[in-house]
Amino acid sequence: MRIALVNNFFRPRAGGSAHFTEEVAKELARRGHEVLVVTSAAGAAPGETREDGYQVYRLPALTLPPLKIAFNYTLNVTASPQNAWRIARRLEAFRPDVVHLHNQVFDLSLQAKAWAALRRVPVVATIHTALVHSSRVLGAVLSVIDHAVVRSFFALADAHVVAPDVYMDRYVRARYGRPASHIVNIPIGVDVRRFDADRPVFDARARHGLGTAPLVLSVGHVIPLIRDRLALVAALPRLRALVPDVKVLVVGQVYDERFLERARALGVADAIVLAGSVPKDDIPSYLAAADVEAHDLEGWGLGTASLEVMAAGVPVVAAVRTDNFPGLALRDGESVVLVPRGEPEALARALARMLVDPAHRAEMGRRQAAFVRRHFSIEVVTDAYVALYERIAGRPR
């Protein structure tokens, strides 16, 4: 098949959807499919290159300054008459059987949806991020965009929308009005083979002056509402009482500093170390240094970063529903360590047990790694996507 993957975010830019798009592209190419990734030129030169067996077409883009509506993320804008022509020309030449969008609202996604609708090419859209906000006013603006713009484009393109978990499934059904036959549950996949081959390239403990301290790793950009680290900070006083020399290493860009303000107010700021945003290739070094990981604590599901940490054999503590993935039950102590949302005492106890009990920690790491490899490997997830592509590619439109 000929598959066009469209995402404003792609390497060298880090992020969950960027990494997932890259892994899907590599796996599809490995299976013999023709793959074209259309993205914005952020951190790389515009133009076309061949990478890992597939084509990457990067469009000139304007990088906006951090915006409050985007949780202070920097966004890339590709909307221009020249880029509209470039996108149409390249897709016309590629002749995709399916256009697969990653993320729903960026201008590149909207342009690709419009082209696919005009050419009657099937569209698959994977929703990585819900358009919600901690500000009621900005949340209302995003809701209007979802209902007025994204919903209309999905209808125009007759898109099949992929909801990776129960939260996104509920969100998609409420926002986009797609028929049940056009909503598909496929989880985000991770390249588990990477953690078989990758080895630490540096000593993360030495780099950040951590010594032999018990270490809670917290991976992912710090953003309001979804991954704000406030729950982790709330548990720190009790955790320090149980494990006095504990350190928390946050790996990711800090777009919301409220957790640091709260840590100072609680007198635990000295236990927090910030690594900032790091290259993807550095992650194995941080995982090798960690005893346990925790960042999915706000009730928004189990994200890509958590799955990658689990695949590497580092136990993850999370506050998620047992039915987070439709058709696949999460079991506390087997697939993941589950804690109730909003209960700092329970979180502190769960983290402390991992930190002070090496045998239990190692066993949970093995169980979680096996669980991810069985259900979330990029091979398993790509099987599901290929089945979806084949089902809709020949459907009359």
Summarised one tens digit per residue, pLDDT across range 299-312 is: 888 888 899 999 99
Please write the tens of the pLDDT for every residue from 146-192: 889 999 999 999 999 999 999 999 999 999 999 999 999 999 998 88
**What mean pLDDT is predicted for residues 239-262?**
96
Q: Rounded CA gap, 296 and 97, in Å? A: 36
> How high does pLDDT run on average in the chain?
91
Provide, rounded to the nearest whole percent, the portion of the chain with pLDDT above 70: 95
pLDDT above 90 covers what percent of the chain? 71
Q: Give residue 69's pLDDT.
A: 58
Find out whether 361 and 354 touch, Cβ atoms under 8 Å.
yes
Contacts by residues 68-74 (CB-CB < 8 Å, ≥ 24 positions apart) = 68/135, 68/138, 69/133, 69/138, 69/141, 69/142, 71/133, 71/223, 71/224, 71/225, 71/255, 71/256, 72/223, 72/255, 72/256, 73/221, 73/223, 73/255
Three-state helix/strand/coil letters over 202-265:
CCHHHHCCCCCCCEEEEECCEECCCECCHHHHHHHHHHHHHCCCCEEEEECCECCCHHHHHHHH
Higher pLDDT, 189 or 234: 234
pLDDT value at residue 395: 59
- Position 65 scores a pLDDT of 67
pLDDT, tens only, 105-143: 778 888 999 999 999 999 999 998 888 877 888 889 889
Cα 351 from Cα 247, distance rounded (Å): 12
Helix, strand, or coil here: 320?
coil
Residue 11, token pair as written in the block: 């390497």
Residue 15 has pLDDT above 80, yes or no: no
310-368 residue pLDDT tens: 999 999 999 999 999 998 999 998 889 999 999 999 999 999 999 999 999 999 999 99
Predicted pLDDT at 54: 98
Under 8 Å between Cβ of 97 and 393: yes
Tokens of 210: 């951590």
Question: In this predicted structure, what is the pLDDT of residue 382?
Answer: 97
0.75 surpassed by pTM? yes
For 67, the token pair is 């915006």
Q: Structural domains in the chain?
A: 2-189+377-393 (3.40.50.2000), 194-375 (3.40.50.2000)
The conformational region for residue 229 under phi > 0 = left, psi -120 to 50 = alpha, else beta, is: left
Could you tell me which residues come within 8 angstroms of residue 151 by beta carbon, excluding any fewer than 6 positions away? 175, 176, 177
Q: Which two tokens stand for residue 390?
A: 């084949």
Backbone angles phi, psi at 99, to 5 degrees: -105, 120
Before 12, cis peptide (omega within 30)?
A: yes
Are 40 and 8 in contact by the 8 Å Cβ rule? The answer is yes
pLDDT at 60: 93
CA-based angle 354:272:221, to the nearest 5? 90
Count Cβ atoms within 10 A of the Cβ of residue 160 and give its class: 0-12 exposed, 13-18 middle, 19 or more buried: buried
Q: Which helix (H) or strand (E) holds 27?
A: helix 16-30
Distance, in Å, from the CA atom of 42 to the CA atom of 61, rounded to the nearest integer, reads 7
